[in-house]
Amino acid sequence: MPDLVFDATTLIHIGRAGLLDNLKDLDDDLLIPYSIYEEVVLLGKQKGRLDALRTQELVRIGIMKVVEVERGEMHSILSENRSLSNGDIDVIELAHLRKGIAIMDESYGQAVCDIEKVQHRGTIWILRQMVMSGSISRQEAKEYLDRLIEEGWYCSTTLYSKALRIFQGHTRSRS
């Protein structure tokens, strides 16, 4: 199975929805670039975020691994793009180096992944993987989708409708 490389926004929203513990049921290596760990855990703890503590615990017990990204040519090229944070660049570069999948929802970051030929998926795909692993039911996936939105995760009506069809088992998606 490929490595899953998490972006901060996706990781934060999965945490706020109460889904972090379900990540352990995925058969993939779960990676967090150190820059993302700083943003999600270190800054999150300063803000009193419970999801930051849970993410830290998943790293401590080895469910998720923090990786220092060796910044190479891709980082040099992408760092000129002011629309990408260092964390975004680290996610894209680490997914590229590991031939993994960048887990990010931002359309701009996904477009950069397409240009750089880096696989990417989003939060709905993670929910789908949790359903496929038996970690959550299809009905729970719909409930978590609503909880994600209630917690501030943005989802267009088109994507929401597509997600509902996915969780009913009628279609496949890269989202």
Structural domain boundaries of the chain?
Answer: 1-175
> CB–CB of 84/112 below 8 Å?
yes
What percent of the residues of the chain are helix, what percent strand, and what percent coil, each to the nearest 5? 60, 10, 30
The residue written with tokens 């469910």 in the block is 63
Top CATH class, 1-175: alpha beta
pLDDT band at residue 48, thresholds of 50, 70 and 90?
Answer: very high
Question: Quick one: how far is CA 15 from the chain centroid?
Answer: 10
Sign of CA dihedral 129, 106, 95, 9: negative
pTM for this structure? 0.91
| pLDDT for residue 72 | 82
Helix (H) or strand (E) holding 11: helix 8-16
Distance CA(124)–CA(141), nearest Å, equals: 9
| Dihedral angle computed from the Cα positions of residues 61, 41, 3 and 171, in that order, rounded to the nearest 10 degrees | 110
pLDDT band at residue 171, thresholds of 50, 70 and 90?
Answer: very low
Q: 58-62, 64-68, 115-119, 160-164: which has the minimum mean pLDDT?
A: 160-164
Q: What pLDDT digit, counting tens, does each position of 91-111 carry?
A: 999 999 999 999 999 999 999
